[in-house]
Amino acid sequence: MSKYIINLDLHGGDFAPRSVLEGASLALKKNPSIHFKLHSTKELYQQYSILFPKIFEIFDWIESDNSISPDTKPSEALKKDNRKSSMSNAIADLKNNDNEITISAGNTGAMMAYSTVYLRTIENISRPAIASLFPSKNHPVCFLDLGANSECTAENLLDFAIMGSTYYQVLYPEVECKVALLNIGSEEMKGNNLIQQTHDLLKSEKRINYQGFIEANEITDTSNHVIV
């Protein structure tokens, strides 16, 4: 059986580390082939290895110098003093280990900054995006970007459409993935200049199955699979 290696930032999240360790325990019960690499400070290890002895006994623990707080700016997270934080170590471990993933419920900005610097973006993709699957009446709907970028160009949004479509087809290979662009209306003339420019790019992109605009009130009952 394959071993799934997951780097786990024990400091990530509002109720960490207890919630993270409880989640790891539940995941292990459902899938015994999971293998965790636990990233935390020595202080956390000393306290919680007593409360969760099995998790710390059977999995690897990697010591971190500190942790990233929710209010740490991405630029601060990248400074030398934070390069050995639990989140930094958990993401840096992916650089030479393609069979691993990293999970952290911590500071999103810092996580995107570390990921971009350590792992780089895919070739010809200029910016990362945060994607999430939303429930809908017909099927899950993938939304992106959900907060990695405060401002985007039409080219960035085109990249997101391609990434979202690719991601969805990996998750659901039997589905002919349909892509839509969120707008204030479904009519061709609706939307600002950015939306109109993106619409034109998406219409001419052969790698995606673009369906046009979608309004917010259609999100929970749509035939589309990806919404940009």
> What integer pLDDT is reported at residue 97 of this predicted model?
84
> What integer pLDDT is reported at residue 96 of this predicted model?
81
> What integer pLDDT is reported at residue 86 of this predicted model?
98
Query: Which regions in the chain score pLDDT beneath 50?
Result: 1
> What integer pLDDT is reported at residue 1 of this predicted model?
43
> What integer pLDDT is reported at residue 163 of this predicted model?
96
Cis ω for the linkage preceding 17 (within 30 of 0): yes
Q: How many residues does the chain have?
A: 228
Percentage of the chain exceeding pLDDT 70: 99
> What integer pLDDT is reported at residue 4 of this predicted model?
77
- Are 168 and 177 in contact by the 8 Å Cβ rule? The answer is yes
Q: Specify the residue for token string 């034109």.
A: 200
How far apart, in whole angstroms, are the C-alpha atoms of residue 90 and residue 34?
16
